[in-house]
């Protein structure tokens, strides 16, 4: 959306939401005065608000009936739920209530989350909930709160998980921003935990400061796995409840589209932005305002209003917050790769000062990350050299083709070879000297590079086919080179690049 149209769109949207739905269409047509572009913008936001429905207007009310039922049932200190004895309520929200409970069998504290009966109301929904809980139970990572069991007591479902002593990230943030280094350290812990989940195909779908715990020992724990992914691929449960929290949901979640690891990446970007900037990236938390801002507006870069934010960190955040999933990091692993050099640069000045350096977790890359980056450098250099060699048969085509077509073909091949070579050398330099920017540059450059390679191979192949009668040998060489270029571009390069930036899809 053009920023110059936003004030008018915002005012029209505010007014439209106050008008009865049956009269809204005719009113909007008159108010827009024939401006079809503005009307389309307002209608798109109205549609998004309608999809969100009552859940956005009152997220806590989604579980009001459940909360009342639990209150009437009297779950309080000393009550038993199977082998668990309730100690105290820890948290309450639209999805249910979380209690601290004592496991009488294993004699340990656990977190017991009672789910709303509205979620697993039918057999298919219950089956999905069981599958999600089993998947989350497979996770084993120090940054993830372990799920112990999915229990059914008196037809009610309960998720039993590790009890994490400490405070939520929301409590740590309070009403202000965190030091940049602390924010990066916390986000690295969260991203490492989510990377383990993404490797198993598990998407959190509701990452927010309330779902990140900071333990008394200084560790990071991501909680509530398996809860936010109760719904199907569309992001909706069978009862029509949209899962997630508006201000932290990706555009595709808001639009009811399938959510994959890149949706978690968007949420990570929102949390990191809020930690460093002291405010959410999309402003007011009012339901329709958040929805419209997430869908239409780009946040202000952190470096413009927070002192001491490295440019590399700003780039990481803005890449996470890209509207299109394909423009974001492909998984949390890529965020780890991008943030580790940023943290190293932040730690270096502290260690060089006279003051004692704060204890910082050692950045540990996943196995094979260093060798994958080395192979990516080799691949880019080798591909650049091979591209130059491919111009030899391309040049020979000029003498076999009619004068004008031959020259045009060779000129086109030269121009494309120069562009492709420049992009490859850029990726080689980025891989070697700017690890924090590698993933974002790959996301930006890879589509252009792939299509340029395809067009180069097509032109070379067409040239070879055109001279097949005059010079079968040259035609065979051109066709073989074109095929080899396609194999390198479509098969070898995606695997090499994906491993280097932590792509899991």
Q: Which residues are catalytic?
A: 206
Distances (CA, A) of 169 to 96, 174, 444: 20, 9, 32
SS3 string, 259-272, reads CCHHHHHHHHHHHH
194 vs 203: CA distance, rounded Å: 8
Give the CA-trace dihedral at 68, 69, 72, 78, to 10 degrees: -110
426 vs 420: CA distance, rounded Å: 10
104 vs 92: CA distance, rounded Å: 24
SS3 string, 387-431, reads HHHHHHHHHHHHHHCCHHHHHHHHHHHHHHHHHHHHHHHHHHHHH
- 170 token code pair: 């929301």
Question: Are 206 and 243 a contacting pair, CB within 8 Å?
Answer: yes
326 vs 257: CA distance, rounded Å: 14
Nearest one of 51, 55, 86, 54 to 70, comparing CA atoms = 86
Question: Are 46 and 296 a contacting pair, CB within 8 Å?
Answer: no
DSSP 377: H
Which sign does the torsion angle of CA 52, 54, 56, 62 carry? negative
Nearest one of 464, 436, 449 to 496, comparing CA atoms = 449
Question: Are 189 and 143 a contacting pair, CB within 8 Å?
Answer: yes
């Amino acid at each position: 959306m053009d920023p110059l149209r936003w004030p008018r769109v915002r005012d029209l949207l505010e007014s439209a939401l106050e008008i009865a739905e049956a009269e809204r269409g005719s009113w909007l047509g008159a108010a827009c005065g024939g401006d079809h572009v503005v009307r389309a913008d307002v209608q798109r936001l109205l549609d998004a608000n309608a999809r969100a429905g009552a859940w956005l207007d009152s997220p806590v009310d989604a579980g009001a009936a459940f909360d009342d039922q639990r209150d009437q049932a009297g779950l309080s200190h000393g009550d038993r739920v199977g082998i668990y004895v309730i100690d105290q309520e820890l948290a309450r929200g639209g999805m249910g209530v979380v209690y601290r409970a004592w496991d009488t069998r294993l004699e340990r504290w656990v977190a017991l989350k009672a789910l709303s009966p509205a979620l697993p109301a039918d057999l298919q929904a219950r089956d999905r909930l069981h599958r999600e809980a089993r998947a989350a139970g497979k996770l084993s990572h120090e940054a993830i709160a372990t799920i112990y069991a999915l229990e059914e007591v008196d037809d009610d479902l309960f998720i039993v998980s590790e009890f994490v002593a400490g405070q939520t990230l929301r409590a740590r943030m309070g009403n202000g921003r965190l030091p940049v280094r602390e924010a990066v350290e916390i986000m690295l812990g969260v991203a490492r935990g989510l990377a383990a989940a993404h490797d198993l195909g598990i998407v959190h779908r509701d990452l927010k400061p309330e779902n990140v715990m900071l333990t008394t020992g200084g560790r990071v724990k991501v909680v509530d796995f398996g809860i936010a992914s109760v719904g199907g691929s569309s992001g909706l449960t069978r009862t029509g409840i949209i899962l997630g929290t508006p201000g932290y949901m990706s555009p595709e979640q808001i639009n009811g589209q399938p959510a994959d690891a890149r949706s978690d990446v968007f949420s990570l970007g929102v949390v990191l932005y809020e930690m460093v900037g002291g405010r959410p990236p999309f402003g007011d938390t009012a339901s329709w305002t958040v929805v419209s801002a997430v869908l239409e507006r780009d946040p202000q870069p952190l470096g413009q209003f927070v002192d001491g934010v490295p440019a590399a960190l700003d780039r990481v955040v803005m890449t996470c917050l890209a509207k299109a999933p394909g423009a974001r990091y492909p998984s949390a692993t890529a965020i780890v790769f991008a943030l580790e050099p940023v943290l190293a640069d932040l730690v270096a000045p502290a260690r060089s000062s006279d003051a004692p350096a704060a204890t910082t977790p050692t950045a540990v890359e996943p196995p094979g990350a260093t060798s994958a980056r080395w192979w990516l450098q080799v691949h880019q250099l080798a591909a650049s050299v091979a591209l130059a060699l491919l111009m030899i048969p391309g040049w020979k085509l000029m003498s076999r083709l009619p004068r004008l077509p031959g020259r045009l073909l060779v000129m086109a091949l030269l121009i494309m070879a120069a562009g492709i070579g420049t992009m490859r050398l850029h990726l080689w330099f980025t891989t070697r000297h700017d690890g924090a920017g590698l993933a974002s540059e790959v996301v930006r450059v890879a589509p252009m590079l792939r299509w340029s390679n395809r067009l180069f191979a097509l032109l070379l192949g067409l040239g070879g086919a055109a001279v097949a009668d005059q010079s079968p040998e040259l035609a065979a060489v051109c066709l073989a080179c074109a095929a080899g270029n396609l194999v390198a571009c479509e098969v070898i390069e995606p695997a090499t690049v994906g491993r280097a930036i932590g792509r899991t899809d």
